Amino acid sequence: MGDVDECIFCKIVAGRSPAYRILEDEHCVAFLDVAPASPGHCLVVPRGHARNVWEISEEAHEHVARMVHRVAALLRAALAPDGVNVTHSTGEAAGQEVFHFHSHVVPRWRGDDLRPMWSASTASAQELESVRARVIAVR
């Protein structure tokens, strides 16, 4: 089993590691991040192990998305944030640290000091068309 036996999120799902759970159902578990970006920062994980967005089934991903929606509503009602970020990272290059698919639900308040994950600049039409052509060629 390797991955699953050592996976901290699998241990949390199984109840073998502690977590501050806020919501769960037969498909997913949502709990507070122990290193929060802001108060109320939650993680939503599927009960079944999948390393990343490339490995999770569409059905399991749908369950995570539904739980993310429910968690965001709970955080809004409980903490009254001005906004919320929902993020996911797949792979070390994207900043993934725990290799069990998970989404972050991060409450935001005006004036907080959190930074966006990237700074953007407008791409040229030629660049956009080139990338589009490459993507649709593999559909």
- Which two tokens mark 72? 């965001």
**Above 50 in pLDDT, residue 1?**
no
Task: Report pLDDT for 119.
Answer: 85
Establish if 131 belongs to a structural domain: no
Domain that holds residue 12: 3-111
Establish if 32 belongs to a structural domain: yes
**What does the alpha-carbon distance between residue 12 and residue 17 come to, in Å, rounded to a whole number?**
5
**Above 90 in pLDDT, residue 60?**
yes
Task: Provide the mean pLDDT of the chain.
Answer: 95
Looking at the structure of the chain, the number of domains it has is: 1
| Contact by Cβ (8 Å): 28, 44 | yes
Neighbour order of strands in the sheet with 28-32: 21-24, 28-32, 42-46, 103-108, 83-87
Establish if 137 belongs to a structural domain: no
Total Cβ atoms within 10 A of residue 63: 19
**Above 90 in pLDDT, residue 48?**
yes
CATH of the domain at 41: 3.30.428.10
The kind and range of the H/E element at 28 are strand 28-32
Catalytic annotation, residues? 102
Establish if 79 belongs to a structural domain: yes
Task: Report pLDDT for 120.
Answer: 87
Taking only the tens place, the pLDDT of each residue in 89-108 is 999 999 999 999 999 999 99
